[in-house]
């Protein structure tokens, strides 16, 4: 079994990848905000000169664009904050649907770059107990690997299956091309899965993660 240094190193690497991706997203939102602010400034100058009256709809559109991008930035930073605090307690508890939703959001930019549509179909009332940071790192590495090998423009469904005493998280691609064999799991995924006392598997267009559910409970 891997030691804590191995686990911490992999989690730190995943955090760095997520931070790098999010920094690009924040830069994009700031660029749009800056462009919209410049447009508003141009409108102010036009009004000040007394020429070319500005329609209220143009001003409103620029203001709405700024507000939309501010909200988008807030959501992005909220997701990063949630991931950063996943290691506050170990083991921790969380609904599996929320964990999958978080990882989907954190990897949304990579999915968009390949035009992959992601649908999560996980039970909202299933709460698991695990080392959440390691689990999220494993899910992130898995979904990123799926984005790499699946055909562009394809769909990806993430769902869970009960296989007592395990919960299986399934990543199913509808890509018409079979995923290359032996592409998953890699060494890092294997280390994280073993740390969680689980395992990873690949079967044609499907990746799966099996983890024990001894801490699983259902909310009311």
Q: Each residue of 152-182: pLDDT tens digit?
A: 889 999 999 988 889 999 999 987 676 766 6
Note the pTM of the prediction, 2 decimals: 0.82
- Per-residue pLDDT, 155: 93
At the second CATH level, the architecture of 91-218 is: 2-Layer Sandwich (3.30)
The neighbour count for residue 74, using CB atoms within 10 Å, is: 11
Q: Find the DSSP H helices in 50-152.
A: 56-84, 96-106, 108-113, 132-149
Specify whether the CB–CB gap between 61 and 87 falls below 8 A: no
Write down the CATH number for the domain with range 4-85.
1.20.5
Domain boundaries, the chain: 4-85, 91-218
- Measured CA to CA, the distance from residue 40 to residue 105 in angstroms comes to 31
- Per-residue pLDDT, 216: 44
- Measured CA to CA, the distance from residue 87 to residue 83 in angstroms comes to 8
| Alpha-carbon distance values, 212 to 128, 143, 157, 186 (Å) | 9, 20, 22, 20
In CATH terms, are 4-85 and 91-218 the same topology?
no
- Measured CA to CA, the distance from residue 212 to residue 202 in angstroms comes to 18
Q: Which residue has the tokens 């999560």?
A: 120
Residue ranges, the chain, pLDDT below 70? 1-5, 44-56, 176, 178, 180-182, 214-220
Burial class (CB in 10 A: 0-12, 13-18, 19+), 56: exposed
């Amino acid at each position: 079994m891997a030691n804590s240094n191995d686990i911490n190193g992999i989690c730190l690497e995943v955090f760095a990848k997520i931070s790098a991706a999010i920094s690009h997203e924040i830069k994009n939102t700031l660029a749009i905000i800056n462009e919209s602010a410049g447009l508003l400034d141009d409108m102010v100058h036009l009004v000040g000169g007394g020429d070319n009256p500005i329609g209220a709809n143009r001003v409103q559109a620029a203001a709405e664009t700024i507000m939309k991008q501010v909200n988008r930035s807030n959501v992005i930073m909220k997701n990063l904050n949630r991931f950063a605090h996943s290691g506050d307690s170990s083991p921790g508890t969380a609904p599996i649907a929320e964990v999958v939703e978080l990882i989907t959001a954190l990897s949304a930019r990579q999915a968009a770059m390949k035009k992959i549509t992601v649908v999560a179909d996980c039970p909202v009332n299933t709460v698991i107990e695990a080392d959440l940071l390691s689990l999220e790192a494993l899910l992130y590495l898995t979904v990123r690997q799926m984005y790499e090998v699946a055909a562009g423009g394809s769909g990806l469904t993430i769902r869970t299956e009960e296989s007592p005493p395990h919960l299986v998280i399934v990543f199913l691609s509808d890509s018409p091309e079979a995923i290359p064999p032996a592409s998953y799991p890699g060494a890092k995924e294997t280390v994280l899965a073993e740390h969680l006392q689980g395992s990873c598997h690949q079967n044609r267009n499907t990746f799966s993660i099996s983890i024990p559910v001894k801490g699983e409970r259902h909310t009311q």
